[in-house]
Amino acid sequence: MPKTELPRTPCRAALLSLILVLVLPVIAAAAERAPARVSGDFASAIVLDAGTGLILEAHREHDRLPPASMLKMMTELVVLERVAAGSLSLDDVVTITANAAKVGGSQVYLKEGERFTVRDLLMALAIHSANDAATALAEHVAGGTAAFVELMNARARDLGMNNTEFHSVHGLPPARGQRSDTSTAYDMTLLARELLTHPEALEWGAMIEAPFRDGTFTLHNPNRLLGKFRGLDGLKTGYTRAAGFCVTATAEQNGLRLVSVVMGCSTNNARAAETSRLLSMAFAMYEPVKIIDGPGDALPQMLAVRNGKVKAVPVTYGEALTVSVPRGRRAELVIERELPRQATAPLAAGAEVGRALVKLGDRLLGSVPIVTMQEAPRGSWFHRLVH
Question: Which of 72, 236, 276, 359 is an active site residue?
Answer: 72
Q: Per-residue pLDDT for 297 more than 90? A: no
Average pLDDT over residues 344-373: 94
268 and 212: one domain?
A: yes
Residue-wise pLDDT for 44-73, tens only, equals: 999 999 998 999 999 999 999 999 999 999
Residue-wise pLDDT for 320-336, tens only, equals: 999 999 999 999 999 99
Q: Give the Cα separation of 254 and 197 in Å (integer).
A: 19
List, in sequence order, every residue forming a beta bridge with 51; answer none if it has no partner. none
Say whether 307 sits in a helix, a strand or coil: coil
**CATH number, domain with residue 328:** 2.60.410.10
Question: Which of 44, 106, 129, 276 is an active site residue?
Answer: 129
Per the annotation, the verdict on 72 as an active-site residue is: yes
248 and 316: one domain?
A: no
250 and 185: one domain?
A: yes
Give backbone dihedrals phi and psi of 125, rounded to 5 degrees, phi first: -70, -50
Average pLDDT over residues 219-248: 97
**CATH number, domain with residue 106:** 3.40.710.10
Question: Which of 69, 106, 168, 276 is an active site residue?
Answer: 69
Per the annotation, the verdict on 309 as an active-site residue is: no
Per the annotation, the verdict on 69 as an active-site residue is: yes
343 and 205: one domain?
A: no
90 and 195: one domain?
A: yes
Which pLDDT belongs to residue 177?
Answer: 86
Q: Give the Cα separation of 22 and 334 in Å (integer).
A: 6
Give backbone dihedrals phi and psi of 98, rounded to 5 degrees, phi first: -65, -35
Q: Per-residue pLDDT for 223 more than 60? A: yes
- What range defines the domain where residue 280 resides? 36-285
Say whether 270 sits in a helix, a strand or coil: helix
Average pLDDT over residues 87-108: 97
Give backbone dihedrals phi and psi of 334, rounded to 5 degrees, phi first: -130, 135
265 and 301: one domain?
A: no
Q: Cα Rg for the chain, rounded, in angstroms?
A: 25
Please state whether the peptide bond connecting residue 295 to the residue before it is cis, i.e. omega within 30 degrees of 0.
Answer: no
- Of 285, 311, 340, which closes a domain? 285
Average pLDDT over residues 260-271: 98
Average pLDDT over residues 77-103: 98
The number of domains in the chain is 2
- Of 266, 285, 304, which closes a domain? 285
Q: Per-residue pLDDT for 214 more than 50? A: yes
